[in-house]
Structure 1
Amino acid sequence: MHPVIRASSAADGHSCAVLQIAGKLGDGPLRDSAGDDPMNSDEKRNRDAALPGLTVQREVATVALQAQLTGTLGIDASTNCIVVRSLISTSPGTDSLVDIDVAWPPGWSVGLRGGAPALIDETGQVACRPGDEIALGGGFKDTSRMGVVSCTGQGRVFDAYRLTRT
């Protein structure tokens, strides 16, 4: 016999409900009405939930900026965002590795390909993966002027229009 749950409440409507379970619970796992284990919500978790985020331009740029950004596509561990790790000279003879948030062209996204995250272009093709050495054409812009919100929270992002794997 399957357990039956009955609810009842006091006639005055001010008392809390009382649940009565009739039947045998047994040793099987608990299941909700959809048949899922309520104690293991990760069981049916969305596979894309852990994918990194990225900043995407709202519209195609009408002017192509002429700067070039080179570096390694990576994932910022503190924000779980796609970034380009680039060696930047902070003073003569001193270089620092810096994570730069990139505003990717409209239609670009992150997806799982072969079980690993990949940067997907507007045609649905893999543009590159974390760890790939890349060169981007574009230039730095203030997010407020672009009308975008930086995935990493930076006030300036690299507005990309072209990607080349190096």
Structure 2
Amino acid sequence: MQQDGLILELQNGNHKAFERIYQLYSESVYGIIYSILKDEKIAEEILQDVFMKIWDNASSYNSDKGRFFTWILNIARNASIDHIRSKSHKNSQKNLTADNFVNILESNSNFSAKADAIGIKKYIDILKPVCKKLIDLLFFKGFTQKDAAEELDMPLGTVKTRNRACINKLREMLAE
């Protein structure tokens, strides 16, 4: 079954189509979630939540607004960031050991592997360094635009403008 037919079947509530979509996308979606959360158990829980959201909100997907995979990744990214911002996550981070900080510092430099995990590394490599940094902070590390502005020591408006320009450039490259 072609992807468009599979999506239509999902939107019509077909459980087999949902199972097939899970088979096709769960590994990539897990990779994105894990790259943000750095915790296998929580990433697995969020993965299940993401696919429940896909099932519950399948009718809201519109191919005119973007690719299905992008829609799924946005759900996964938002669920991961929501978890990071949750009170339970913040409380669990209060008593981290020094080993955890080493892991966090080491994983923050792993942007290339994260981009490669979702198949856009070759496109991101072409972007200007500021775009690479912005995409890493905003999409892979879960920073808000305000946090990214502070991290990069630039005005919030500049971060928003550059982010928009970088994403538009990436869209142009992906459309080619």
Q: TM-score, normalised by structure 2?
A: 0.23
Q: Say which one has the larger Rg.
A: 1
Where is the strand percentage greater, Structure 1 or Structure 2? Answer: 1
Where is the helix percentage greater, Structure 1 or Structure 2? Answer: 2
